[in-house]
Structure 1
Amino acid sequence: MTLLTLALFQARPAFHSADEALATLNSAMSRAAAAGADMLVTPELYLSGYGSAAAARGAAQDLGSQTLHAAAQIAAEHRIGMVLGYPERCGRALYNSAAVFGRDGRLISNYRKVALPNDFERDCFVPGIGPEAFEFEGVRCSVLICYDIEFPELARRAALLGTELLLVPTALRAKWRFVSDAIVPSRAYENAMFVGYCDFAAEASNSQFSGASSICAPDGQHLCRATGPEDLILATIDTTAVQQRKSDFDFLQDLKGIGCATSPIAKIA
Structure 2
Amino acid sequence: MTGIRIAVAQPVISADARVNGETVRRLMRKAAAGRARVVQFPEGLLSGYAKEQIADWSHVDWDVVREELELIMALAAELKVWVVLGSAHPLTPPHRPHNSLYVISDAGEIVDRYDKRFCSHTEINHFYTPGFDPVVFDVDGYRFGCVICVEINFPQLFSQYERLGVECLLLSAYPVDTVFEVKARAYAAINCYWVSMSLPAQTRDLMPSGLITPNGTYATQVTGKSELAIATLDRDDPDLTIPLQHARPWRTTALKGDIYRTRAVTDPRSQNRTTA
Q: Which TM-score band applies after superposition, normalised by the shorter structure?
A: 0.7 to 0.9
Q: Deviations over 1:196-251 (max 9, x none)?
A: 1100114xxxx686351120111111111223535211111112357752433232
Larger radius of gyration: 2
Structure 1's consecutive aligned runs of 4 or more residues displaced over 6 angstroms after TM superposition are: none
Q: Deviations over 1:14-39 (max 9, x none)?
A: 222x2211111111111111111111
Q: Secondary structure at the match of 1:234?
A: strand
Q: 2:167 aligns with which of 161, 164, 168?
A: 164
On the 8 A contact 1:189/1:220 being kept in 2, the answer is: yes
Give, in whole Å, the separation in 2 of the partners of 1:246 and 1:193: 8
Task: Name the residue aligned to 1:196.
Answer: 196
Pairwise mapping of residues 118-133 of structure 1 onto structure 2 (< 5 A)?
A: 118-120=121-123, 122-133=125-136
Task: Name the residue aligned to 1:11.
Answer: 11
Cα 1:58–1:238 change in 2 (3 A) is: farther
Q: Is 1:149 aligned to residue 158 of structure 2?
A: no
Give, in whole Å, the separation in 2 of the partners of 1:95 and 1:145: 12
Q: Deviations over 1:117-159 (max 9, x none)?
A: 2414531101111312211221111111111122110011111
Q: Is 1:68 aligned to residue 69 of structure 2?
A: yes
On the 8 A contact 2:86/2:102 being kept in 1, the answer is: yes
Task: Name the residue aligned to 1:267.
Answer: none
C-alpha displacement of 1:7: 0.6
Quick one: which amino acid aligns to residue 69 of structure 1?
E
On the 8 A contact 1:60/1:89 being kept in 2, the answer is: no
Most deviating of 247-256 and 211-220: 247-256
On the 8 A contact 2:101/2:113 being kept in 1, the answer is: yes
Give, in whole Å, the separation in 2 of the partners of 1:252 and 1:122: 38
Q: 1:248 aligns with which of 218, 224, 246?
A: 246
On the 8 A contact 1:15/1:55 being kept in 2, the answer is: no
C-alpha displacement of 1:97: 0.2
Structure 2 portions without partners, runs of 5+: 262-276
User: How many equivalent residue pairs?
Assistant: 250
CA RMSD in angstroms, aligned pairs only: 2.6
TM-score, normalised by the number of residues in structure 1: 0.83
Give, in whole Å, the separation in 2 of the partners of 1:19 and 1:187: 35
Structure 1 portions without partners, runs of 5+: 260-269
Q: Secondary structure at the match of 1:131?
A: coil
On the 8 A contact 2:21/2:69 being kept in 1, the answer is: no
On the 8 A contact 2:13/2:20 being kept in 1, the answer is: no
C-alpha displacement of 1:191: 1.1
Most deviating of 224-233 and 99-108: 224-233
Give, in whole Å, the separation in 1 of the partners of 2:172 and 2:121: 17
Task: Name the residue aligned to 2:45.
Answer: 46
Quick one: which amino acid aligns to residue 40 of structure 1?
V
Task: Name the residue aligned to 2:81.
Answer: 80
TM-score, normalised by the number of residues in structure 2: 0.81
Q: Is 1:21 aligned to residue 20 of structure 2?
A: yes
